[in-house]
């Protein structure tokens, strides 16, 4: 287990001497450019030095545990059953409920903010606006609203932004949400990529 830089809401860890953005929403690890996203641009956008992005091809088969300030790529899997993970284009997805409606969410540690599609988000209770950074769409101000999530055996209210229409999700994912690292404010996250289970552990 090691600590990581979480000052931007993203997970930037020293891996083998390289400062890497850990992103389960990226199918492949890269050190220069991948699908139009350049490491140099990510570094500039986040205001932090970066050597590359650690994607799912480097994490598959491992048990990844993330807390608000530490990360472990060789963690022990919890005893509880957890929620089944499935993969679309190599990216982990999980079936959840949002406001009691069943849907699919992409689990992306490269996203600092959780998002819900326009079709499912409740905008009844606005809480705040946050500045979010996206490698393709740049900086944006995102309005956050309280919504009700059910993931595995956990049900809770949490803030989420409306998923912008232009945000790229795997085309065949059928996803209505992105679970970002803001979930770490409430839970430790364990992704068991050997048994293909997602665990939320109250922190």
| Low-confidence residues in the chain, pLDDT < 70 | 134-138, 165-173
CA 37/CA 30 separation, integer angstroms: 10
Supply the Cα-derived Rg of the chain in whole angstroms.
Answer: 16
Q: Above pLDDT 90, what percent of the chain?
A: 79
pLDDT on residue 165? 67
CA 23/CA 156 separation, integer angstroms: 24
pLDDT on residue 135? 60
pLDDT in tens, 18-38: 999 999 999 999 999 998 899
Q: Any idea where the domains of the chain sit in the sequence?
A: 2-202
**What's the predicted TM-score (pTM) here?**
0.93
Q: 2-202 sits in which CATH class? A: mainly beta
């Amino acid at each position: 287990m090691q600590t990581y830089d979480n000052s931007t809401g993203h997970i930037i860890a020293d891996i083998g001497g390289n400062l890497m953005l850990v992103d389960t929403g990226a199918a492949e690890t890269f050190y220069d450019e991948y699908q139009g996203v350049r490491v140099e641009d990510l570094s500039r956008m986040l205001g932090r030095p970066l050597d590359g992005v650690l994607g799912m091809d480097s994490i598959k088969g491992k048990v990844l545990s993330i807390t608000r300030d530490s990360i472990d790529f060789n963690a022990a899997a919890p005893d509880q059953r957890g929620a089944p993970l499935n993969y679309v284009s190599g990216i982990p997805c999980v079936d959840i409920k949002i406001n009691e409606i069943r849907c699919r969410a992409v689990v992306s540690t490269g996203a600092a903010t959780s998002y819900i599609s326009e079709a499912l988000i409740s905008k009844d209770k606005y809480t705040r606006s946050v500045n979010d950074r996206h490698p393709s769409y740049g900086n944006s101000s995102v309005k956050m609203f309280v919504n009700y999530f059910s993931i595995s055996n956990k049900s809770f209210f949490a803030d989420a932004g409306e998923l912008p229409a232009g945000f790229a999700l795997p085309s065949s994912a059928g996803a209505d949400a992105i679970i970002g690292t803001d979930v770490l404010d409430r839970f430790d996250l364990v992704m068991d990529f050997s048994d293909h289970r997602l665990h939320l552990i109250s922190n």
